[in-house]
Structure 1
């Protein structure tokens, strides 16, 4: 596997890894990455959590209405209920990050 570049991992980088590791054409590799991301987004949009073993879980959480405060003026304002997306790394991923690889 090639060394990742410093900075941000992009869709193109993922497609390059699929191309290098599996041997699909560049177009097919990009298509595979896009389809995976599409299925993940569709599941989340449908209210499903996404769990990738050995990587982590994308979890949807509903937050209720609450009172917030404008930090500049100190005026209290209601914050509407909303759905938030969180990511929780798997234990394996946490260990890899801490050990550096």
Structure 2
């Protein structure tokens, strides 16, 4: 099962008596907007106890079309990677 944005909104709404559903939506949207802006600018996003999202540059490199087997050059690009915290990694592996 995959956790969706709607699931996050619902969980925040249910666990906080003082917040309305609209407030939960605004909070999730604000967090995601700030996170995206930060990553787009090239900065990392560190969430203590959860992990770190980083933006890495990949250089141009040789590739192959899997359908035709033809060699080609893949453009340089930026990718977002995630490194879980030790706490999260231990919890995932040990329940």
- Give the match for residue 8 of structure 1: 2
- Give the match for residue 88 of structure 2: 93
User: Structure 1: which 5+ runs fail to align?
Assistant: 1-6
- Give the match for residue 61 of structure 2: 66
Does residue 53 of the first structure (1) align with residue 65 of the second (2)? no
Aligned residues between the structures: 94
| Partner Cα distance (1:94, 1:18) in 2 | 24
Of 9-18 and 38-47, deviating more is: 9-18
Report how far residue 74 of structure 1 moved.
Answer: 2.9
TM-score, normalising length from structure 1?
Answer: 0.86
Does residue 84 of the first structure (1) align with residue 84 of the second (2)? no
User: Structure 2: which 5+ runs fail to align?
Assistant: none
Give RMSD over aligned pairs: 1.1
Q: Deviations over 1:61-87 (max 9, x none)?
A: 000011112233332111110001111
| Partner Cα distance (2:71, 2:85) in 1 | 38
C-alpha change, 1:42 and 1:73, in structure 2 (3 Å) is same
| Partner Cα distance (1:36, 1:18) in 2 | 13
Of 10-19 and 46-55, deviating more is: 10-19
TM-score, normalising length from structure 2?
Answer: 0.91
